[in-house]
Amino acid sequence: MKEFVIATNNRKKLAEIQRILTPLGIKAVTAADKGIDLGDVEENGATFMENAYIKAKAAYDKCGLPVVADDSGLCVDALDGRPGIYSARYGGHDSPYTVKNQMLLDELSGVPEDKRGAHFTCSVCCILSSSDIIRVEGNCYGRIAFEPSGDGGFGYDPIFLVGSRSIATLSDEEKDSISHRGQALRKLAEELKERREEL
């Protein structure tokens, strides 16, 4: 089975990516699994895709194996798209998501339901070789809840509603079918299927 290095330390994100790549005969591993220390990569891009590429290139340069990296975040209409590319750093990089979620809800205090539109974006960059780079993106549209619900998923999932349910209340299969990362990874899977003989 071909190994792809996933440039993340987030095990839940790794599991999402594994669910999409495994049917293609691709084993998703982290750099740490391969004994490689990626160190701290400065994500100084102006877009999700720029940051995804920065992470993928840093990992590819260190391991020389096919790499998948993503950058994703939550964009809230009433906050002019914030926190956006700063989603992971919102409220402080090391603050837990329970704190980040509550901060976001506090910022939206008094904002009515019809003005709480938001979307998740996920940009994925896959470097197969120095001359073969795949870039795909997915979006999931919904709104911000008035309070967290559910204990599944991670990040902002407990306060992001699609229809009447938060992402954190969905099964893995339900989440994969609608999530921004699921959409982006399915696009990546289609691109990889076209290159199956080259992998």
Contacts of 162 (CB under 8 A, 6+ apart): 140, 141, 142, 178
For residue 71, indicate whether it is catalytic: yes
Which of 33, 37, 40, 71 does the annotation list as catalytic?
A: 71
**72-100: b or e for each residue (b if 16 or more CB lie within 10 Å)?**
bbbbbebbeebbbbebbebbeeeeebeeb
Q: Are 47 and 24 in contact (CB under 8 A)?
A: no
C-alpha 167: how far from chain center: 14
Residues carrying an active site annotation: 71
